[in-house]
Each structure stands twice: as C-alpha cells, then as structure tokens.
Homo-oligomer: A and B are copies of this chain.
Amino acid sequence: MSQTHPNQLLEALSWRYATKVFDAAKKIPADVWAALEQSLVLTPTSYGMQPYQFLVVQDAAKRAALLPHSWGQKQVVDCSHYVVFTARTEVTAADVAKLIQRTSDVRGIPPEKLDFYRDMILSDVVNGPRGKVAHEWAARQAYIALGNIMTCAAVLGVDACPMEGLNPVEYDNILGLNGSGYKTAVACAFGYRAASDKYASLAKVRFAPADLIRVI
C-alpha cells in the first residue's frame, strides 16, 4: 500500500477548518464524492454493526426546509453535498441477523458457524448493557463515521463543516424518519470554501498537547 507521509497528513488536517461559507457554485467531482461515500461505507463500527444510515440531501427544497432548523447556518443550502447522519433508534435481533447473513454471504461461511459471534452481539447490544442505551451507542458509531469522513475530506482537499447545531426532531420530520427506525444524530456539509470566508484564515484554536494528551 502506498503510504502518505506524516507531514502531508498534518498539512491536510491543518488546512481543514469548520467552513462557514461555501462557494455554492463549486460542486465536488463525482469520483471524489464517490470516494467519500465509500469512506462512510467502510467506517469501522463496534461488532461491525453499522447501526446507521447516511442521508445525502441533494433536493434543494428539502435543504431549504432544513435551514431554519439548523440555526440558520447557510452551509446547509450552499454546500455541494449535505449529509445527515442517522442512528438506529433501537438495536434488534433482526439487525444482528442481518449482519450475520451479510457476514455469511461475504465470507462464504454457513450462518450456523457464526452462532457464537451472533450470541455475543445479542448479549451486548440487544439484551445486554449496550441494549439499554442502544440509540446512544448507535449514535457514537455514527460519530466514528463523522470523524472518518471529515479526515477523508481533508486529505482529498474537500472542505467540510460538521453540524451539531440542528433540531433533530424537526430534521426527522422533514426527512421522513419517524417510524423508520433511524433518528438524526448529526450532520455535515461538504464542498469548497468561498473566498469570502474569513474563518479560513483564522488560527486554529486547540488546547496545548500537554492539556489533551497524557502519557502514562
């Protein structure tokens, strides 16, 4: 595998910032967006459960409807691609069965050989401790996807703005999620910064490494 040099990675991570103003005329090329969608698909999750769906909202009317429920942040309507990260409202035995079937199909293993694996998952995220906080657990997995795709976007030279500032109940209504088994967790806008975005040139604010990292 061809590796990226650490300095090139850090350059990308330093280049990125929460883009406040997108250039509404600039769209992400299809091959680049395809890679970003694939990065979502490839996100690692606990048990490989993938308890989420990603909604790519391209319909202008839907985006306009989401805007007032996004603290008025115009990134929603001006970005190239707007992704709403949804997470399972609960995790069921059927969810686990679906993963087992998929594992069987992809790896050519008879499903019954995966009984131990199935029971382990069931005893945790359905009937066990994580089952009690299933939506929150699922939302955390969605946040892995968020962290993953923001970094992927940065290395591909695509701007992004993560959006927690939204009303998830109104999002669920507008996106038709009620009764779907998924709820809005967070969103992220992707595209290209406008030349006018003064935030692009501000120094990045992070605590000192010694305040964030302890070696023990």
- Total interface residues on A, CB under 8 Å, equals 80
Q: How far is the CB of A94 from chain B (nearest CB, A)?
A: 13
Chain B, residue nearest A49 (CB): B207
| Whole-angstrom CA separation of A207 from B34 in the bound complex | 16
| Whole-angstrom CA separation of A74 from B169 in the bound complex | 42
Q: State whether A38 touches B62 (Cβ < 8 A).
A: no
**Apart from A3-B156, A10-B38, A147-B150, what 4 extra A-B contacts exist at CB < 8 Å?**
A9-B155, A52-B212, A56-B214, A145-B147
Digit string of A36-75 for contact with B (CB within 8 Å is 1, else 0)?
Answer: 0111111110101010111111110010000000000000
| Whole-angstrom CA separation of A163 from B155 in the bound complex | 25
Residues of B within 8 A of A157 (CB): 1, 3
Residues of B within 8 A of A3 (CB): 12, 155-157
